[in-house]
Amino acid sequence: MTIHETELEIIEEFALFDDWMQRYEHIIDLGKSLPMINAEFKTENYIIKGCQSQVWLHATVNNNVIQFTADSDAIITKGLVALMIRVLNNQSATDVATAPLTFINKIGLTEHLSPTRANGLLAMVKQMKLYALSNSAK
Amino acid sequence: MTKTYNITSIRQDFPILTTQVYNKPLVYLDNGATTQKPQAVINSIVNYYSTLNSNVHRGVHSLSQQATTAFDVARTTVQQFINAQHAHEIIFTKGATDSINTVATSWGFTNLHKGDVVLVSLMEHHSNIVPWQMVCNATGAVLKYITLNADLTLNLDSLDELLAQGNVKLVAITHTSNVLGITNNIAHIVSKVHKNGSLLLVDGCQTPQHMQVDVQFLAIDFYVFSAHKLYGPTGVGILYGKENLLNAMPPYQGGGGMISTVSLDNGTTYATLPHKFEAGTPNIEGNIALGAAINYVQSIGIDAIQNYEHDLVVYAQQQLLQLPEIILYAPTADKAGVLSFNMNNNHPFDVGTLLDKQGVAVRTGHHCCQPLMQHLGVAGTVRASFALYNTIEEIDVFIGALKKTISMLS
């Protein structure tokens, strides 16, 4: 599945919900089901600090295919992180680096990607793309 | 005769309170960050620009004189509101942070030397810590802090011990904690501080909107607060200082409005109080609107507001204490306007986000009080803070939203 196809799948998934609380219930469930990050990566070296919640992110590249693992201390942030990983994992570094990632906007969660928000998500997306960019050149 | 507290009529004075968020009526419980503005304050700003706008002090023309008069009346309104002895002891600043920086810089650089001590407390806002760290670093003075008791009230024995260690030149302490809602006993503290020959600066950001403040009765040396937490506009703060102290301090900033004479050869002589500390064109409409905000508060009566809000806070606290998942901070202390809590081990960001989606505005995080958060052993808290227009029904909505949040996060 391409990045774009996964994004469409998520947009369809969120269209099923009538209200905000249902959407957030789903995000919380996604957060709870995100595979644990390896403990060795849950350290200062891998931290992306938001003002309030923070994210730990680790990435590997094999044959130009990226794998991210991540965690957050806030469950809603972790759910949003899970969505990002679902979209970007197993894609080529080049595709990750250039993905427009419009799904967050389309499912009504733009506020979480605003630079003034406190949850570290925007910084995480930047970090993911930066990592992909540095590996897509190789 | 006490007037009845007409909450319906009061709420109608605040146009923003009819706002809907996510198709739900807004329940605004972030008043500790900033309060909403009554129509009288909004009108004051509109009227200023519609009928009065002109620069103050230096004009010979009619408009400028009218603007200057309104500006001076606002200063007198503030003076009477906190019962300062003189209007010129009221300095208009751009916020309480600016007020503290004025004292830390102007008084601090003149009076602090190597080995001198400044005391703050563990419950201070960063605005009442960082300016003192900066001046202490630059002068070689030492910053020490007063600890808290187990119930999170100020440890007065700790204050006594620190004063007894000597060299304390100034104590800077909050009147009411923006995290805990605890109001410190300033009358008691000031007697200790003055007996020691030290000065007292009180951070009043969370106080005059909730209770009567009398700087002469309390004999406070410096008192600071901001207009926007008192139903006035942002960008306006007050520095009250005793006349003799302000007179002895050098200007904080140089510029227009704060001089008597300027000569390139012979230097500058400064204007008298309060102008010496008000360089540049001031926030004229903001200062006038602060006067309107104070008039509004006084039209209801600060004692009536205090009684009404006390009932709100007690009710909210009782409701919170019935929820076993809620950890309320300083549960036994009497509180003004503010309740801080956490929900088991859940992140405050998650709790705040889910409350927001149910129309309830609270603040989450460290509330600019990282030392206090470290003392509590948490990254942050959820803070509900109340104002004169909140209602018991809103607290019921808040508690209902909290119960839903608990069920979603557990």
Distance from CA of B393 to the nearest CA of A (A): 21
Task: Give the angle subtended at the CA of B155 by the CAs of B172 and B134, to the nearest 5°.
Answer: 30
Q: CB-CB: which of A20, A24, A73 is closest to B347?
A: A73
Where is pLDDT greater, at B251 or A137? B251
Contacts of B354 in chain A (CB under 8 A): 21, 24, 76
Which secondary structure element, helix H or strand E, spans residue B311, and what is its range?
Answer: helix B302-321
Helix (H, G, I), strand (E, B) or coil at B144: strand
User: What's the whole-number mean pLDDT along residues A103-113?
Assistant: 80
Q: Does B65 touch chain A (CB under 8 A)?
A: no
Segments making up each domain of chain B, as ranges = 7-30+301-409, 43-298
Annotated catalytic sites of A, by residue?
Answer: 51
- pLDDT-derived band at A51, boundaries 50, 70, 90: low
B7-30+301-409 has CATH 3.40.50.300 classification? no
Task: Identify the residue with better confidence: A102 or B206.
Answer: B206
Residues in chain A: 138
Strand B326-328 vs strand B20-21: parallel, antiparallel, or unpaired? unpaired
pLDDT at A104: 84
pLDDT value of position A126: 87
Residues of B in contact with A77 (CB under 8 A): 347, 349
Instruction: Read off the pLDDT of residues B338-365 as tens digits, 9 standing for 90 and up.
Output: 999 999 999 999 999 999 999 999 999 9
**Is A90 exposed, middle or buried (CB count within 10 Å of its CB: 0-12, 13-18, 19+)?**
middle
Which residue in B22, B380, B409 is closest to A75 by CB distance? B409
Judge whether residue A47 has pLDDT over 50.
yes
Give all domains of chain A, ordered by start, each with its CATH number: 3-136 (3.90.1010.10)
Q: Is B382 exposed, middle or buried (0-12, 13-18, 19+ CB in 10 A)?
A: buried
In whole angstroms, give the CA distance from residue B332 to residue B329.
Answer: 9
CB B244 within 8 A of CB B120: no
**C-alpha dist (Å) from residue B34 to B7, B193, B234, B293:** 20, 31, 8, 13
Q: Going by DSSP bridges, is the β-strand pair A65-72/B222-226 parallel, antiparallel, or unpaired?
A: unpaired
Q: Do B408 and A52 touch (CB under 8 A)?
A: no
Nearest chain B alpha carbon to A119: B349
Nearest Cα neighbor of A119 from B179, B364, B402 is B364
Task: Report yes or no: B207 and B238 within 8 Å, Cβ to Cβ.
Answer: no
**Per-residue buried b or exposed e for B306-318, using 16+ beta carbons within 10 Å of the residue's own CB:** bebbbebbeebbe
Give the model's confidence band at A138: pLDDT under 50 very low, under 70 low, under 90 confident, else very high: low
Q: Tell me chain B's radius of gyration from C-alpha atoms.
A: 22
What pLDDT does B25 receive?
Answer: 96
- Note whether A73 contacts B: Cβ–Cβ < 8 A: yes
- Given the residues B136, B205, B368, B369, select the one marked as catalytic: B368
Q: Look at residue A115 in the predicted model and tell me its pLDDT.
A: 61
Which amino acid is it at B60?
V
Q: How confident is the model at residue B1, as a pLDDT?
A: 44
Minimum Cα–Cα distance from B346: chain A residue: A74
For residue A65, list its beta bridge partners. Answer: A62, A92
B140: its two tokens: 């070689």
Chain B residue at shortest CA distance from A79: B350
Q: What is the mean pLDDT of residues B145-150?
A: 98
Closest chain A C-alpha to B359 CA, distance in angstroms = 11
Pick B349's closest partner by Cβ from A25, A28, A119.
Answer: A119
Peptide bond into B274 cis (omega under 30): yes
Contact yes or no for B126/B369 (Cβ under 8 A)? yes
The neighbouring-strand residues paired with A31 are: none
Instruction: State whether A118 and B349 contact (CB < 8 Å).
Output: yes
- Residue B235, phi-psi category: left (phi > 0), alpha (psi -120 to 50), beta (remainder): left
pLDDT in tens, B153-164: 999 999 999 999
Identify which of A124, A80, A128 has the alpha carbon closest to the alpha carbon of residue A104. A80
Closest CA to B336 of B305, B367, B361, B360: B305
B117: phi then psi, degrees, rounded to nearest 5:
-125, 140
Question: Does A13 touch chain B if contact means CB atoms closer than 8 Å?
Answer: no
Tell me: the pLDDT tens digits for A54-92?
Answer: 889 999 999 889 999 999 999 999 999 999 999 999 999
Question: How close A29 gets to chain B, by Cα (Å)?
Answer: 10
Task: Answer whether B350 sits within 8 Å of A25, measured CB to CB.
Answer: no
CB atoms within 10 A of CB B23: 8
CA distance B85 to A130: 61
| Residue to substitute from B20, B21, B126, B353, interface A, most A β-carbons within 10 A | B353
Partner A contacted by B194 (CB < 8 A) = no
Please list, in sequence order, all residues whose beta carbon lies within 8 angstroms of the beta carbon of residue B324, skipping any fewer than 6 positions away. Answer: none
> Which residue in B339, B346, B362, B290 sits closest to B40, CA to CA?
B290
Which among B354, B357, B380 is the nearest to A52, CB-wise?
Answer: B380
B364 touches chain A (CB under 8 A): yes
Its CATH class, for the domain covering B43-298, is: alpha beta
Position B97, amino acid: T
Q: Is the pLDDT of residue B309 over 80?
A: yes
Whether the CB of A130 is below 8 Å from some CB of chain B: the reply is no
Which of A24, A51, A118 lies at the smallest CB-CB distance from B357?
A: A24
- pTM of the entire structure? 0.94
pLDDT at residue B234 tops 70:
yes
Q: If you count residue pairs, one on A and one on B, with CB atoms under 8 Å apart, how many are there?
A: 43
* pLDDT value, residue B227: 98
Does A25 sit within 8 Å of B408, measured CB to CB? yes
CA angle A25, A72, A16 (to 5 degrees): 25
CB–CB of B331/A101 below 8 Å?
Answer: no
- Residue tagged 């409409």 (tokens): B285
CA of A117 vs chain B CAs: smallest distance (Å): 11
pLDDT (tens digit per residue) in B1-33 = 456 899 999 999 999 999 999 999 999 999 999
Query: What pLDDT score does A121 carry?
Result: 76
DSSP classification of residue A112: G
Provide the pairing of β-strand B338-343 with B326-328: antiparallel
Residue B314 makes CB contacts below 8 A (sequence gap 6+) with none
Nearest Cα residue to B101 out of B69, B83, B67, B128: B128
Between these two residues, B78 and A116, which has the higher pLDDT value? Answer: B78
Query: Using an 8 Å Cβ cutoff, are B178 and B205 in contact?
Result: yes
In this predicted model, what pLDDT tens digit does every residue of B92-140 receive, in sequence order?
A: 999 999 999 999 999 999 999 999 999 999 999 999 999 999 999 999 9
Q: Is A76 on the interface with B (CB under 8 A)?
A: yes
- Intra-chain end-to-end CA distance of chain A, in Å: 23
Among chain A residues, the shortest Cα distance to B404 is held by A21
Q: pLDDT at residue B69 above 50? A: yes
- Find tokens 């001198």 and name the residue: B116
Q: Give chain B's mean pLDDT.
A: 96
- Contact list, A28 vs chain B (CB under 8 Å): 350, 408-409
Contact between B357 and A28 using a beta-carbon 8 Å cutoff: no
